[in-house]
Structure 1
Amino acid sequence: MNYLAHIRLAENTPESQLGNFLGDFVKGPLEDYQNCYSAEILKGIATHRQIDCFTDRHPLYLQSRRLLGDRYFRFSGIIIDIAYDHFLSKHWQLFAASQLDDFVNDFYDNLQANRSILPPKARAIAPKVVLENWLASYQTLAGVNRTLARISRRLKRANPLATASEELAEHYEALEAGFLQFFPEAIAYAEILQKSPFQQPSSESALELSINLQSLHRKK
């Protein structure tokens, strides 16, 4: 999952949304961060990790990855994450009560208000996220292409991300259909996580929220 999807899947509170955004920047046991963040932010980070596990194992997500050619397979997770943010933007009104621009701008205000507590890498990119309007840029394929090109430049090893938009265009309808099937399940799973009591992680818990991925399917 990429930034927009993670923030949408968070609880509708500034702290939960911030925590879900920070999941890509906070590494290691969450017990190490108990003095840095509130319990709600820590739960958001833990939720981000659980949603990533759910997504990475989900048959529909794996099917989307397999649609990409062999040249892109090694980087297909990155490509599909960005593509899913594009489809979420395109179909935002199916999955959210607010307007996309209002949602994004509220999060930017939240991010800037809490910049002092962000980890170094998140603090460094926060101004770019806002200034370049990253979260709204996924609405167009041109924005997707710019995002993939930016990631391509950041990676140390050679990669084909800068040309991946051509592959996305070729499989656009199939990828869109896969997303529209997948995202309601991601929302349902996130709601299970939100209703579960959060305890400060310990070494025994290994950062898990003790929720079996199969519980979602048993509820269907």
Structure 2
Amino acid sequence: MNFLAHAWLSRHGSDDFLYGNLIADGVKGAHLESWPTAVAAGIRHHRRVDAGIDHHAEVLQLLQMAPRAQRRYTGIALDLVWDHFLASRHPDATLVERCYRVLGEREAPARLAGMVPVMIEGDWLQRYADFDFTCRAIAGIGQRLRGPNQLAALTPWLRDEYANLEAAFVTLWPEMQHRFSE
């Protein structure tokens, strides 16, 4: 769950729009009528960004390089890797504090309710600057999935491919900003 990347791309919008971007992974379905208009717009924006990133040439190339056994999980790991590069290359404490405030003032969807307070308390968004922390977060997500922890198994590959991941980010991020900044 790449909270920081989605926050960056929606930082110029209202708090409701930002909130929608931050919680979108916890919202299922296409019917968003029960959400305030700006929150629903943020959820839709998040989903457009995800689709754009998932189909970007850099991401598709990395997916082909990933170990076959973990390939279907690689996109999840890459989302957090993008947050790592944002936190380490473009730290923005003001944006992080805004995210924590916006998330802390509202009730998170059930799928995120247990994680959001822990994320805020542990200052995950700034700690993603530490790649070891990011890898632990990736492995932690893998613990919540069924079966063997394929995300934990993927972290050695992420470490080995760090330079390629960083090069992909350097290409990917400006394009995402140009295409999706609100």
Fold-level similarity (TM above 0.5): yes
What CA distance in whole angstroms lies between the structure 1 residues aligned with 2:81 and 2:32?
33
Match of 2:28 in 1: 27
AA at the equivalent of 2:122: E
Match of 1:146 in 2: 136
Match of 2:57 in 1: 59
Asked if 1:164 corresponds to 2:162, the answer is no
- How far residue 114 of structure 1 moved from its aligned partner, in angstroms, is 1.5
- Which aligned runs of 4 or more in structure 1 are off by greater than 6 angstroms? none
The structure number with the bigger radius of gyration is 1
Match of 1:114 in 2: 106
Change (3 A) 1:62 1:8: same
1:84 counterpart (54, 58, 82)? 82
User: Identical aligned pairs, as a percentage?
Assistant: 29
Instruction: Provide structure 1 residue ranges, at least 5 long, that are not aligned to the other structure.
Output: 93-98, 195-220
- Residues 45-79 of structure 1, C-alpha deviation per residue, up to 9 Å, x if partnerless? 00001111111111111112223222321211112
What CA distance in whole angstroms lies between the structure 1 residues aligned with 2:26 and 2:147?
21
What CA distance in whole angstroms lies between the structure 1 residues aligned with 2:163 and 2:79?
16
Q: Is the 8 A contact 2:67 2:154 kept in 1?
A: no
What CA distance in whole angstroms lies between the structure 1 residues aligned with 2:25 and 2:117?
17
Report the TM-score, using the length of structure 2 for normalisation: 0.91
AA at the equivalent of 2:8: R
- How far residue 90 of structure 1 moved from its aligned partner, in angstroms, is 1.7
Superposed CA RMSD: 1.7
Report the TM-score, using the length of structure 1 for normalisation: 0.76
AA at the equivalent of 2:140: R
| Mapping 1:168-183, distance limit 5 Å | 168-183=158-173
Q: Is the 8 A contact 1:67 1:171 kept in 2?
A: no
Asked if 1:105 corresponds to 2:97, the answer is yes
2:37 counterpart (39, 52, 63)? 39
Change (3 A) 1:139 1:161: same
What CA distance in whole angstroms lies between the structure 2 residues aligned with 1:55 and 1:84?
10
What CA distance in whole angstroms lies between the structure 2 residues aligned with 1:3 and 1:61?
18
